[in-house]
Amino acid sequence: MNIIGLEALVFGVDDLQACTDCLKDYGLEPVELDAHGGRFEALDGTAIILRRADDPSLPPAMGPAPSLRETLYSVQSVEDLAAIEDELARDRAVTRDAEGGLHSVDDLGFHIGFQLTRRRPFDAPADLTNAPGSAPQRPLNQVGISPDMAARPRTLSHVVYFVPDSAKGAAFYTERLGFRITDTFEGVGPFMRPAGSDDHHCLFMIQTPPHMKGCEHFTFHMGSGTEVLLAGQRFAAQGWTSFWGPGRHLFGSNWFWYFNSPLGCHIEYDADMDKHDDAWAARLAPMSADNSQLFLFAHREKWAPSGPPPKRG
C-alpha cells in the first residue's frame, strides 16, 4: 500500500469561531471558509478541516464534541486507491465519495479515508546553520534571524490517538495498510509510518482506558527548531496556553511545542524529524520522562536584564 501520509484531519466542533481563530493564529491559511466550517491549509496544501459537530456529512462521533471525526490519508494514483479498496472491502464497508475518495473504519473504530493527494510544491527557506568544525551554510553578512521572519506550518506531520488496544491497532495498520513500526514505547504503543513516507511517524498510538478513545494531538512540520520556537512564541502571544514544551523528543528526534486548543485535543508544532527506510531496526523502550524527551524548557515572556547583576555567594 503506497500511502504517502496524512492529507487532512476532519474535526466536528461546537465552537466554530474559536477553532477558526486557533488555526489561523497557529499559522494555517483559511480556504473554503463559510458558516458551516472551513479548510485550513499548510504551505503544501495538507489541512485541518472543520465542520459543525451536527453536520450530517460527518462520520459518527466517538465521543462528545469537539472531536476528530476522520483521518484522511493521501496516495499518488487511482491504482493505489483500488488496492486499498480491495483490501479493506474483504471484511468491512468501504464507500466512495463524489471525487473518488475512499471512506472506511479501522479496527479500533477510527474513521479513515484515502484520496489522491492535493499536495502542492512550495518554496520556503531552509534554516542555514554556521557551526565551527563544519563548512558554513550561511554566507558572510547574511543574518540568520529577523523579528519578522516567516514561521508557517509546512506540511501535516502526524496524529496521535488514545486507544483501548494499541496492539490491535498496530496489527491493522501494519497487516492491512502496509505501515511500518519505527519505534515503540513498551506498554504504551507504536510509532508508525506508511510505506510511501520516510518520516519517523505519521501515527502514534497511546494505550488508554476505553472511555478516553480519541485524538490526543496533531502537528505540522515547521522548517526548523528556530521556527518551532518563533511560531510557538507568536501563538502564545495570541493568548493560547502552552501545554508541553518547547523541547526535543528522543524517538523521532523532532523539536516540539504543544498547546491547548478548542478542538478537543492538543495542537503541536514540530520540526527536524528523523527519516527511516526499511533497513531501520525499530527500538523498544519503557515510557518515561527521560525517554520521552532529550530536554524540555518552560516558556516565559520576553525578558531583558536591567540594573546591577545579582550578588553571588
Q: What is the pLDDT of residue 306?
A: 79
Q: What is the pLDDT of residue 1?
A: 77
Q: How far apart are CA 81 and CA 114, in angstroms?
A: 7
Is the pLDDT at 51 greater than 70, yes or no? yes
Is the pLDDT at 116 greater than 90, yes or no? yes
β-strands 47-52, 3-13 pairing: parallel
Domains of the chain (ranges, CATH numbers): 3-119+153-295 (3.10.180.10)
One-letter amino acid for residue 191 of the chain:
F
Q: Are 248 and 291 in contact (CB under 8 A)?
A: no
Neighbours of 242 (CB within 10 A): 17
Q: How far apart are CA 273 and CA 129, in angstroms?
A: 17
pLDDT band of 144, cuts 50, 70, 90: very high
Q: Are 114 and 3 in contact (CB under 8 A)?
A: yes
Q: What is the pLDDT of residue 32?
A: 86
Q: What is the pLDDT of residue 15?
A: 97
- Tell me what percent of the residues of the chain surpass a pLDDT of 90: 95
Mean pLDDT of 164-181: 98
**Which helix (H) or strand (E) is 166 found in, with range?**
helix 166-175
Name the nearest CA neighbour of 165 among 214, 212, 108: 108
Residue showing cell 492491512: 176
Bond from prior residue into 246 cis (ω within 30 degrees of 0): yes
Mean pLDDT of 103-114: 98
Neighbours of 312 (CB within 10 A): 4
Average pLDDT, the chain: 96
- Tell me what percent of the residues of the chain surpass a pLDDT of 70: 98
Mean pLDDT of 120-125: 96
pLDDT in tens, 270-313: 999 999 999 999 999 999 999 999 999 999 888 888 767 666 65
Mean pLDDT of 232-259: 98
